[in-house]
Structure 1
């Protein structure tokens, strides 16, 4: 089956409160270039021709999400998230159960990761579409890593060879990911990303190298960095478009 014959859904877990941001609202609703962080994140998928639909998992008493106006002709659904990311993603997958085939693909992406490059998204989708187990965007670890004790005393320097920093989206078959998350949760294993759930279920996901500017907004200083990266990505996309139009002319 070619990529054009496959169905791709997106799940955005957005039920967190982002306490480390020290802000008066959850980080996904902070302003980023005139829109909320979540709106900037959603835009990458709302305008992608191969994305069939999106499910956003929000907190039960979220009063901001209903006020956003998301202009799209794609199916955009909302579910109530859970206490942890894995519960939110599973709730979304359960919602999709009667709307998808087990072999359809789902891309899980962080709500507070608004600087995704279109090229990375396409690269992941094209690569994973022919892979039996799926995989994730990631970047090689570049910095020296230290393992410390509870007092922050260095115990050792960790060899960074073969270590990668996991990013999102993380892309897997709907049925396989649902079963993997159900197994981890039933066994009391708190997985922090979808690849961890797949690994726990015995799979070996693939890594696709992406750009390091696909940052997750976690701390106050990340917001300014995201503004810079988003502006740079937008400028590059506009430049690419101008070049294509010049070639067509």
Structure 2
């Protein structure tokens, strides 16, 4: 079983918009619709789970899923109070006991098929694999007083992306351990690391941005325009 859990349970406060960030439009379609369409093109995918705020379940059925007419059936699941809880809800919705699962941010609409394939190819050695891109800026560690504490070696730093792929058994167990010990993280690789698992890294994609601020939305529109100029979204996403 190969599953994907798309997490779109955030409130989007940093976007400073009147609607949640995952529902803002790119090329006359919600950001979340672009993300779902990208995973729907993955022919090896068996199961697709979408996690959204509980209040949005009906709206998403009618305004996101119905217009898309996806090839995959989508299991719609209510989110939790945190991203970590939302992911746990998505994992619990999977009927299988074994297999692999991709966990992806709903506001990363520019996920190419070649990136999905790379993560799939990298998961087998340890049961955990994520894409990441090298840091390009000089990284400063800053204290609470606003003063620099140190400069990090950027050659050893990479910026994590999604989809993050795991053995279903591994990541479910890791989330249980995190809950039992009160550990909270911002991505699932951190949860796996906390549980003592080794996580492999494969090269990410700089177009695979997470849209969380108004500036990100401007960049997203530029990326989409570039994809359309280079042969359309299907070629760009599948390449």
Normalised TM-score (structure 1)? 0.87
Gapped runs of 5+ residues in structure 1?
1-6, 242-249
Secondary structure of 2:101's counterpart equals strand
Going from structure 1 to structure 2, the CA distance change for 1:54 and 1:61 (only over 3 Å counts) comes to: same
User: For 1:138-157, what aligned pairs fall within 5 Å after superposition?
Assistant: 138-157=132-151
Going from structure 1 to structure 2, the CA distance change for 1:192 and 1:202 (only over 3 Å counts) comes to: same
Contact 1:114 1:230 in 2 (8 A): no
Going from structure 1 to structure 2, the CA distance change for 1:109 and 1:140 (only over 3 Å counts) comes to: same
Separation in structure 1 between the aligned mates of residue 122 and residue 228 of structure 2, nearest angstrom? 24
Contact 2:15 2:21 in 1 (8 A): yes
Gapped runs of 5+ residues in structure 2?
none
Deviation at 1:105, TM superposition (A): 0.8
Partner of 1:116: 111
Partner of 1:76: 74
The 10-residue stretch of structure 1 (20-29 or 58-67) with the greater mean CA deviation from structure 2: 58-67
Deviation at 1:132, TM superposition (A): 3.1
Contact 2:37 2:70 in 1 (8 A): no
> Does residue 1:67 correspond to 2:75, yes or no?
no
Partner of 2:48: 54
CA offset digits 1:122-179 (Å, max 9, x no partner): 2212232x32322101011111011112242222222212111000000001111011
1:92 to 75, 90, 93: 90
User: For 1:126-165, what aligned pairs fall within 5 Å after superposition?
Assistant: 126-128=121-123, 130-165=124-159
2:174 to 177, 180, 192: 180
Secondary structure of 1:207's counterpart equals strand
The 10-residue stretch of structure 1 (169-178 or 143-152) with the greater mean CA deviation from structure 2: 143-152
Partner of 2:189: 195
Secondary structure of 2:156's counterpart equals coil
- Equivalent pairs counted in the alignment come to 231
Secondary structure of 2:46's counterpart equals strand
Larger Rg: 1
Separation in structure 1 between the aligned mates of residue 227 and residue 46 of structure 2, nearest angstrom? 24
Deviation at 1:51, TM superposition (A): 1.1
Separation in structure 2 between the aligned mates of residue 15 and residue 240 of structure 1, nearest angstrom? 27
Separation in structure 2 between the aligned mates of residue 160 and residue 124 of structure 1, nearest angstrom? 23
CA offset digits 1:83-109 (Å, max 9, x no partner): 11111111111111xx2132x111000
Going from structure 1 to structure 2, the CA distance change for 1:22 and 1:81 (only over 3 Å counts) comes to: same
Normalised TM-score (structure 2)? 0.91
Partner of 2:12: 18
